[in-house]
Amino acid sequence: MAVFERVPAAGLIAGARDYGITVLVALVVFFLAYDNGGYDESTRDTLAIAVWWLVILGIAFRLWPLVRIRLGAVVTGALLAAFGCFTLLSVFWSSDAAAAYAEFTRVSLYVGVFTLAVVSARRDDVGRWCDGMALGIAGVMIVALISRFFPHTLEQREIAQLLGGAQTRLSFPLGYWNGLGILMGIGIPLLLRAAVTGANALTRGLAVAPLPGIVAVLYLTSSRGGIATAAIATIAFLLLTGRRWTALAAVTVAGAGAAAAVLALVNRDALVNGPLDGALAESQGRSATLIIGGVCVLTALIFAVGSKAVPGRHAISPLAGWLLSGALIVLAVIGIARAHPIQRFEAFKQPPTYGHSGSLIQQHLLSKSGNGRWQLWSSAIDEFKSKPTAGHGAGSFQSWWLQHGSLPTFVQDAHSLYAETLGELGIIGLLLLVGAFLSALVVAADRLVRSRDAERATVAALVGTFASFAVGASADWMWELTVVSVVAFVALGLAVGPATAHVPRRPIADPGQHAPTSTFARYAAGAAVIIGGCLLICAIAIPLVAATKVRDSQRAVAREDYAAALEDALDARRIQPWASAAYLQAALVEERAGDYGAARRWIARAIRRDKHDWQLWYVASRIQTNDGAIRQAVRSFNRAKALNPRSPIFQNG
């Protein structure tokens, strides 16, 4: 009797584990996206600490078995870790040690996410990880559309407004339209995987249901990078999966639904181009909700019924596949030729213009302009040429652009992961990063050849997700938008880790053969990860605690408690002595208190830690003026102007 009572409990535990992985992954993706995409440094570092604690506790308490990690995953992880170490080393030659350290903590997060996916995911739950990421991205899609169709229901936030008229481009909840578009794009292979491997028609239909909504989001973001990412992700999955005809059917049905969703938006100009707070936009939002929602449901029904009526293993002549592939290649060549690629490339290189009229969304989608990317990439290459081996240090592009850039635009990133890495960390940094990516793709390609059916579809989806991210990161700052990179590195870890490893059939052998060495190696590797994780947690916590102390100091200044404010600033300095922020805060506290001599000493120490920050020199000129040191103030002002010559502050000074 006791045995029968234990069976339901065991089933509940197994069910909770199975569905719990999917739900947990989906919630992490969704809430990270909802928190401005995890862009804020405090959010990113908190997540990094949580990830590394999961890795440590999982290994220490045997929450998952210590399985053998294949060489490919070790090589990829080692190259990523080496890239992180080199980023940390750049603190010693970077003009802004704090910025370099912040980039190190960013890489630590991505290495942690990769490690977590490698050590925790198993062959029988890799699909649940994929479904969780797909579900989280679908949830982001729903929230994004709600924010546009019912704009007063959600608080709107933006990371930055960089382009004129950008307020009409859908950005919520990530705060950046291209980031939202690229997140949608890298989620497409994960949904297609579920569509071709679903256990029943209902599951397969639900998998394609979000795709028309995703394309609607892409249209409203007017993100050419997002559309390109989505196209690359879709093509990669179609080429790599073994179930191409089923995948092609899913893409065709979803494509028809996507076309209907876009047509519903094209005819609603107020909803697409604004004004978004008017009665007309609200009315159009309600009708668009009904139409696009109905299209998604109809798309799901058509594919579900079709997949049930026509079994996926229906034999189709290989000749038909070759003919279709040839026709698509011919159409692609004709399309490229008619697009006049040389003219488009020349137009892409031209400086941006910010005047818009008519439909901003359609105008931008059809635009040939690179919106200044060519100038940003050229500046990053110039930075590389000045120090080609190791660069100017991680996080240095912002100050380089302010001083040497060619456009009157403030930017923090080069809008290309590879160009920025080349400029900041030189050829060494780029080789480590690209080497990690290429080694992972080689491992994944081997697994694609060895796997069959559902397993191959899973690897194809993971490769499509990461490869499309890698392409998207080449033209925008997706490396800095945490949620996009986290999804990509989870996919990377699953693609090269034990979760998708080919398990060959082994002949019966002596059970004790090679066991001691294998067991020792596994426990040694686990111990190394635990020790390294603990060290990383301590390292990541440093800027978090220091930033908290600086904020405490700022609050103390607001209540005019200057003694407490100075003490908090000094605490921040003791925690992170290489960063200029604490010294700047101490200078500002002393300036408010009227002790200009002490303020001058503090700001001088801040400048020694970041000689290329124009704001420090500008504050120094103000403090020196108040202290009567006019000559020094003029020199500081001129230095600030030289570091940021295009700033409006210096146009009349």
DSSP string for residues in 227-257: HHHHHHHHHHHHHH-S-HHHHHHHHHHHHHH
pLDDT value of residue 168: 81
| Residue 400 is assigned to a structural domain of this protein | no
DSSP states along 537-551: HHHHHHHHHHHHHHH
611, HSE (Cβ side, Cα atoms, 13 Å): 5
pLDDT value of residue 526: 76
Residue 369's CB: how many other CB atoms inside 10 A?
17
Choose among 550, 457, 551: nearest CA to 127: 457
Distance separating the N- and C-terminal Cα atoms of the chain: 89
Provide the residue range defining the domain that includes 634: 553-650
| Residue 197 is assigned to a structural domain of this protein | no
CATH code, 631 = 1.25.40.10
DSSP states along 569-623: HHHHHHH-TT-HHHHHHHHHHHHHHT-HHHHHHHHHHHHHH-TT-HHHHHHHHHH
Q: Is 291 exposed, middle or buried (0-12, 13-18, 19+ CB in 10 A)?
A: middle
Phi then psi for residue 473, to 5 deg, are: -70, -15
Q: Is 309 exposed, middle or buried (0-12, 13-18, 19+ CB in 10 A)?
A: exposed
CA 179/CA 102 separation, integer angstroms = 21
Asked if residue 178 lies in contact with residue 159, where contact means CB atoms within 8 angstroms, the answer is no
| Residue 586 is assigned to a structural domain of this protein | yes
Where helices occur in 397-499 by DSSP H, the ranges are: 397-404, 417-450, 453-472, 482-496
Q: Coil, strand or helix: which one is 201?
A: helix
Q: Is 591 exposed, middle or buried (0-12, 13-18, 19+ CB in 10 A)?
A: buried
pTM, rounded to two decimals: 0.91
pLDDT value of residue 505: 47
Choose among 28, 58, 212: nearest CA to 121: 58
| Residue 183 is assigned to a structural domain of this protein | no
pLDDT value of residue 648: 80
| Residue 639 is assigned to a structural domain of this protein | yes
| Residue 267 is assigned to a structural domain of this protein | no
Query: Residue 310 is encoded by which pair of tokens?
Result: 């026509």
Q: Which helix (H) or strand (E) holds 185?
A: helix 177-197
DSSP states along 430-449: HHHHHHHHHHHHHHHHHHHH
Q: Coil, strand or helix: which one is 167?
A: helix
Instruction: Give the number of domains in the chain.
Output: 1
Asked if residue 281 lies in contact with residue 273, where contact means CB atoms within 8 angstroms, the answer is no
Q: What is the mean pLDDT of each run of 10 residues along the chain (653 residues)?
A: 46 67 95 94 95 92 78 94 97 92 97 95 92 97 95 64 61 93 97 93 95 96 93 94 90 96 92 84 92 96 87 59 68 71 73 61 68 91 95 93 86 93 96 96 93 91 97 94 97 95 54 48 76 92 94 94 95 94 95 94 93 92 93 93 86 61
| Residue 592 is assigned to a structural domain of this protein | yes
Task: Please name the residues in contact with 579: beta carbons below 8 A apart, sequence gap of 6 or more.
Answer: 97, 98, 101, 543, 546, 609
Choose among 462, 482, 417: nearest CA to 34: 482
Distance of CA 79 to the CA centre of its chain: 19
421, HSE (Cβ side, Cα atoms, 13 Å): 25
CA 200/CA 289 separation, integer angstroms = 28
Distance of CA 597 to the CA centre of its chain: 45
CA 160/CA 370 separation, integer angstroms = 18
Asked if residue 137 lies in contact with residue 29, where contact means CB atoms within 8 angstroms, the answer is yes
pLDDT value of residue 311: 62
| Residue 203 is assigned to a structural domain of this protein | no
Query: Residue 218 is encoded by which pair of tokens?
Result: 């892409």
Residue 499's CB: how many other CB atoms inside 10 A?
25
pLDDT value of residue 328: 66
Task: Please name the residues in contact with 354: beta carbons below 8 A apart, sequence gap of 6 or more.
Answer: 163, 164, 165
Distance of CA 255 to the CA centre of its chain: 26
Query: Residue 213 is encoded by which pair of tokens?
Result: 């909504």
Phi-psi region of 560 (alpha: psi -120 to 50; beta: other; left: phi over 0): left
Phi then psi for residue 576, to 5 deg, are: -130, 75
Torsion sign across C-alpha atoms 64, 66, 69, 75: positive
Residue 30's CB: how many other CB atoms inside 10 A?
21
DSSP states along 65-83: --PPPPHHHHHHHHHHHHH
